[in-house]
Amino acid sequence: MDEHAPRTGAPDVDVVLLGATGFTGRLAAERLAVLQQRARSEGRPFPTWAVAGRDRGRLDAVVAALPPCAPPPEVVAGVDVYDVGSLARLAARTRVLLNAVGPYTETAPAVIDACVRTGTHYADLSGELPLLRRVVDGFHEPARAAGCQVVQLAGWEALPPDLVALHACRAATGAAPGAWGPGAGASVQRVDVSVRFDQVPAGLRSLSDAVSAGTLASVVEILGDPDAGLVGDPAGLLPTGGHGDDTAAAAVRRVSPLRLRPFREGGRLLGPAVPVAFLDPPVLHRTAALLARESGAPHTPARLREGIDHGPAGGAGALLRLAPQLALAAAQRGLAVVVQLPLSVRTGLADVVRRWLPAPGTGPRPAALHGWEWTVTATAVATGGRRGTATLRGTGHPGYTATAALLVALGLEMAEPDRDSVVAGVVTPGIALGPGTSRHLSTPELALLPS
Ligand SMILES: NC(=O)c1ccc[n+]([C@@H]2O[C@H](COP(=O)([O-])OP(=O)(O)OC[C@H]3O[C@@H](n4cnc5c(N)ncnc54)[C@H](OP(=O)(O)O)[C@@H]3O)[C@@H](O)[C@H]2O)c1
């Protein structure tokens, strides 16, 4: 690795949002502006922040469209993810870089490399599991050595389930305030994560109200990836390497296979996680494995189940509500089959699908972005039967408005000057947020409620 622009002085910006002109990037910029104004009106300090990207005109337009915020964010133009010099200069200027430039498979490694070289914390929203595995393999040790955190899947997938599972495990193992708990001696046997949509805006119309062009492009990238076979492997992000049949991976696959079937828990009916069930489990198992490693304890995987809460089990109503989820589960099974096809077939398929993708920068209609209320709750049961629970309550479209707010909350937490228990490396959203309750997850729009 050649050295380009190592950090020479103190960074002059706390948080940089790269890709602020994209669909999700614009929502993240809005969230930062709202939080800044709120802090200002309450007399609290707020970190300095900047928006970055390729084109000054487009970035200026994003800033001009922000809700009132003073001072406005700095605009850093001329940053192209294919230009390592521009990335190095950007990373050297900031303490935290939030990356909303997708699709990530091709472009994120260069941005992560620039951050690790300068010891800058990094977070993104990528859900391309083969990429995540390569980032673990290529950057965990360098990031540890640099003392920084690299966090992926820091939106709807997989921040809420990872965070509440971690807090439920801490409660179940009787962890002291500020201590991690799971993996630190007392093992957790079961973790159940349930997602409830308490309010959904009326008139959601089509696929475009559910996913943006950028997300669809990322799914296509997975199709064409040589390592696409990782999709569906709950052990795919373990520190020991998810490819092989090592003991830890085998234990995770045996104890906690990926579930697409509905199940009953506490008199409730739970259907498969949406939009995809295969992203969260590898992250939650990585959290437990990394924390076990930190404490020097063996990693004993818990049985993990995750599902959408469809209300009381039994009765025709529950079955009707479950029907669309079963269709989604069937689609996910189909994807699991497709990723096992020969690479040449998958790349051909990806080329065909690419032609049908909507224009970059587009996504759900404004009416679909608001009017949501949801909760993500985890219950953990430790050896000996002690239970712990934790809930994250949120508002906004899970995949976009809320995802942007989650990424921003993580970025603000990573920018805090006096953080406890910082585990460096390629870590998970829960680990990056730390064992305490972040004040950035104590807002009207997003609130963590530990038990
Ligand atoms: N896991 C989750 O929960 C979740 C949720 C939402 C989104 N996502 C992911 O987030 C990513 C972004 O999605 P989106 O819908 O917001 O995408 P989008 O609207 O297409 O935005 C893409 C952004 O990338 C920028 N960009 C593209 N090429 C660039 C380059 N060479 N150098 C610098 N910037 C470049 C674009 O800037 P220009 O204006 O210069 O073109 C734009 O700001 C996707 O990968 C998606 O999968 C994940």
Side chain identity at residue 347, one-letter code: T
Does the C-beta of 103 come closer than 6 Å to ligand 1?
Answer: yes
Closest residue by CA, ligand 1 atom 17: 214
223 lines ligand 1 (CB under 6 A): no
Question: Ligand 1: which atom is nearest the Cα of residue 154?
Answer: 1
Distances in whole angstroms, Cα of residue 162 to Cα of each of 148, 239, 333, 377 = 20, 16, 23, 10
Ligand 1 geometric centre to CA of 381 (Å): 38
> Quick one: which atom of ligand 1 is closest to the CA of 360?
20
- Note if the pTM is more than 0.85: yes
Q: Is 363 in the pocket of ligand 1 (CB under 6 A)?
A: yes
pLDDT of residue 281: 96
Tally Cβ neighbours within 10 Å of residue 387.
Answer: 13
Please report the pLDDT score of residue 25 as a whole number.
97
Span from the CA of 118 to the centroid of ligand 1 (angstroms): 23
Ligand 1 atom 14, closest CA: 214
**Token pair belonging to 221:** 């990238």
Ligand 1, atom nearest to 79 Cα = 33
Among the atoms of ligand 1, which is closest to the Cα of residue 398? 3
Query: What region does 202 belong to: left with phi over 0, alpha with psi -120 to 50, or beta?
Result: beta
Q: What integer pLDDT is reported at residue 133 of this predicted model?
A: 97
Q: How far is the CA of 253 from the centre of ligand 1 (A)?
A: 32
Which residue among 98, 101, 406 has the greatest number of ligand 1 atoms within 8 angstroms of its CB, and so is best to mutate? 101
Q: Which two tokens mark 375?
A: 């909760």
Task: Decide: 125 in ligand 1 pocket, CB within 6 A.
Answer: yes
Output the CA 7–ligand 1 centroid distance in Å. 26
Q: How far is CA 389 from the centre of its chain?
A: 21
Q: Identify the pLDDT of residue 213.
A: 80
Which two tokens mark 378?
Answer: 């985890």
Over the chain (451 residues), the average pLDDT of each successive run of 10 is 54 97 96 98 96 98 96 98 98 98 94 98 96 97 97 96 96 89 76 92 71 80 90 92 71 91 85 85 96 88 92 80 78 86 92 86 86 95 94 94 97 92 95 92 93 74
Give the residue whose CA is nearest to atom 32 of ligand 1.
80
Q: Whole-angstrom Cα distance, residue 331 to residue 341?
A: 16
Domains of the chain: 13-154+402-437 (3.40.50.720), 159-210+232-338+364-395 (no CATH)
Q: How far apart are CA 448 and CA 451, in angstroms?
A: 10
* Nearest one of 192, 348, 211 to 281, comparing CA atoms: 192
Going by C-beta distance under 8 Å and a sequence separation of 6 or more, which residues neighbour residue 145?
none
Instruction: Identify the three-state secondary structure at position 367.
Output: helix
From first CA to last CA, the distance across the chain in angstroms is 46
Minimum CA distance residue for ligand 1 atom 42: 22
User: What's the distance, CA 12 to chain centroid?
Assistant: 26
125, 159, 392: which to mutate for ligand 1, most atoms within 8 A of CB? 125
Does 236 sit in the ligand 1 pocket, CB within 6 Å? Answer: no
User: What pLDDT score was predicted for residue 207?
Assistant: 62
- Answer whether 24 contacts ligand 1 (Cβ < 6 A): yes
